[in-house]
């Protein structure tokens, strides 16, 4: 099965010059926690912004989200993407490697055409451990979720207390 079969097609993106309020309003309208950031002229994906990015920027910069811009807090480097023709298994592997739950789907020139999430994959996973036409199994979905949830850099002093 290909990414195209599971991805969301009707995606709303923001531009680097949009305010964090603009990005948050997209998240509110679309009931999502991530918005792709695209170049206004080409619609090529240049990054992503998450609800966490917005909250952390507002809290740490002591500024209103109307006065902060997507370009200043978006993730630009190492954005993981897939194409509609990639297999769902490829999407699972890329999410696991990048430790992300959602990734943009782009055409070969980098233009945004959709999004695919771990939720999409988990809901479509076969209820078997048998490999079928690139379709992820429940085990694949759980392995990806475990990889995504693994703590990368624990904060010193924030370890869980034993007991």
Q: Confirm whether 26 is domain-assigned.
A: yes
What is the per-residue pLDDT across 35-47, written as a single tens digit (0 to 9) for each? 999 999 999 999 9
Decide if 36 contacts 18 (C-beta within 8 A).
no
Asked whether residue 157 is domain-assigned, the answer is no
Report the domain count for the chain: 1
Could you tell me the CATH number of the domain that includes residue 51? 3.10.580.10
- Within a domain: residue 155? no
SS3 label, residue 50? strand
Residue 44 included in any domain: yes
The domain of 17 spans 3-149
* Cα distance between residue 140 and residue 150, in whole Å: 16
In a domain, 130, yes or no: yes
The answer to whether 84 touches 9, Cβ cutoff 8 Å, is: no
Tens of pLDDT, residue by residue over 61-99, are: 999 999 999 999 999 988 999 999 998 889 988 998 888
Q: Is residue 159 part of a domain?
A: no
């Amino acid at each position: 099965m290909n990414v195209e079969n599971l991805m969301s097609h009707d995606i709303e993106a923001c531009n680097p010059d949009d305010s964090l309020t603009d990005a948050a309003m997209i998240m509110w309208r679309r009931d999502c926690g991530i918005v792709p950031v695209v170049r206004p002229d080409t619609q090529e994906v240049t990054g992503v912004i998450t609800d966490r990015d917005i909250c952390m920027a507002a809290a740490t910069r002591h500024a209103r989200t109307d006065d902060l811009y997507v370009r200043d807090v978006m993730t630009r480097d190492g954005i993981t993407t897939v194409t509609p023709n990639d297999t769902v298994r490829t999407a699972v592997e890329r999410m696991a490697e990048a430790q992300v739950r959602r990734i943009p789907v782009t055409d070969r020139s980098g233009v945004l055409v959709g999004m695919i999430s771990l939720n999409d994959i988990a809901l479509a996973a076969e209820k078997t451990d048998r490999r079928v036409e690139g379709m992820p199994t429940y085990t694949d979905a759980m392995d990806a979720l475990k990889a995504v949830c693994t703590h990368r850099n624990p904060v010193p002093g924030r370890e869980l207390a034993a007991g």
